[in-house]
Structure 1
Amino acid sequence: MTHEIGSIEEHDLRSVWPHEEYDFTRWLMENIDHLTAKLGIEVEDVSHEEAIGSFSADIVGTEMNTGRPVVIENQYQTTDHDHLGKLLTYSAGKDAGFTIWIAENFRPEHKSVLEWLNESGPKDVRFFGIKPRVISIDGTEARGFEFEIVVEPNDWERELTGELSETERTYLEFYEALTEAYSQRRSDWYKLTPQPQSWLVFGAGIGGVSLGWAFHQGPEFSVELYIDTSDKDRNEAIYDTLKQHQNEIHTNLADLDEELVWQRLPEKRACRIKCPCSIPNKLSELSTEEQEQLVKWGVETMDQFQDEFEQRIADLAI
């Protein structure tokens, strides 16, 4: 069977979002996962027009797995020196770990600046150039949208697998297997890029509340809801509200192999609800078969855990 192939037409962002600040930037804030999934990061606590000195950054957030600030500067049409200056000012002012310039077209000299910064600039800052594309096929009214990476840090894909210890490499390989399996279980889940650390988290619907997997002393591996909005009173209020429904939650999750553990953590700012699984040894000492079983447990448990808690978090009015 032969299918007719149409040509792709590209359109200005204004054909969908007439105003950069009031339309596109606000849309991006509400749909930040479209961008972060492309980059393999997870961003929370997203804010708009955050003051930095006498200037205001378009979008500022926090990368969940590293805790580093994220600065995003949007620009319609072609890059210019004015927006480059703003981008660097905002990045320095926030001590950003991730600096993202979004523009419809990149001048070669500006593309070279970002590449130079990734090569010779601060070693703990990653610079990205991103082109947003609005497309249609053969003049149809329907519009499609995608982000195209124009500039990314040198060896971005390999950066996470550089000079790692055996333990770090084991964590990285384990979470690579787990995220692949979980993305197959839930097709609507934005697959994250794992890092060589003992935990991996993703947003649960409101800033400062995350779902995740983590290894703890014991040793144990857990699926958990972690509450840290940077406000201890608010953290405890969220925790206490959920705990009021503890019996119902336990009934809904009765099929889990392990019981939930509720940790208000009064000595810390955060609170946690976790489903722990005891493991015989630390991860690097588990056999391949044991790690595969742990991945399976992590996927099946998180699937139920996310179904149970995600809507409850979304419904919170705290």
Structure 2
Amino acid sequence: MSYSSIGKLQRVPLREVWRHEAYDFTQWLQENIDILNDSLDLNLVTAEREQAAGSFSIDLVAEDEDGTTYVIENQLEKSNHDHLGKLITYLTARSARGGIWIVSEPRPEHVAAMAWLNESPSADFYLVKVEAVRIGDSPAAPLLTMIVGPSAEAKEAGRAKGELAERYDIRKRWWTALVALPGAKLHAHITPGTYSWIGTSSGIRGLSLNYVANQYECGAELYIDRGKDSEEENKRIFDHLQASQAQIDQAISPPVSWQRLDSRRACRIRITLPGGYRSPEEEWPFIQEKMVEAMNELEQALRPVLKTLTMGQ
């Protein structure tokens, strides 16, 4: 076989094939929905044009063999915000399972937006590039390429992000409630955040008094960390305080955990209590009162020993 007999694929301007988006391309797609199926690995069996969505009209509403609904928005030009908004509006108006956006040139920002939308567990989004091609003098043929589609990985990423956002929200409510307690004067000036701890200075550089909370445990601690290249100094401070461990432990009601953390830079002296931000909210006041009591006992027990530190603080 001579290689000279191999034809060259040529792009054809879309408007030479489909002069009008609604009257030509949409009608053609309705009659050739199997071509879209092949590109997206779907099994759409019906497609109806100009379906109502409130006062708007949807290009195509399709269903697969299970009766699952997909809305299709066509755009024979560069993707734009207007059509993205229409796709989302139509999908929600029809309570559709998926939205398919067919464009001639997907902009990078819309590719990213559709990928982000696919993190939603409630809908699938497809961004499809449409081209027309021919070889030699052959009739023009459609070429549909999926640019963005749903995936298990995207749904899992969305679920993880949702859980993280929910965790941030509940932790902020947890800290807001705690710093508002009358006994939490040491931390009353702290703006509640979303992390698993809030802290204030003990009055000595690098030594902070922290409240900590995870899902089912919480507590109070002195955290010792003077920053970069401070490991030896942190250990010396910890050892100095631990020399008074018996005196400190005796002044505190709950058990105290002395954690030198030899494999890490920092050290801590921690009181751990049962209950955390995943505990029933009606139990929060009781749990947080115990946290405040522990923090106040820890601070008072440490105060005289901290005054004896002579390491340049």
Q: Which has the higher contact order (CA 8 A, sep 6+)?
A: 1
Please state which band the TM-score falls in when normalised by the shorter chain. 0.3 to 0.5
- Give the greater-gyration-radius structure (CA): 2
TM score, norm. by length of structure 2: 0.46
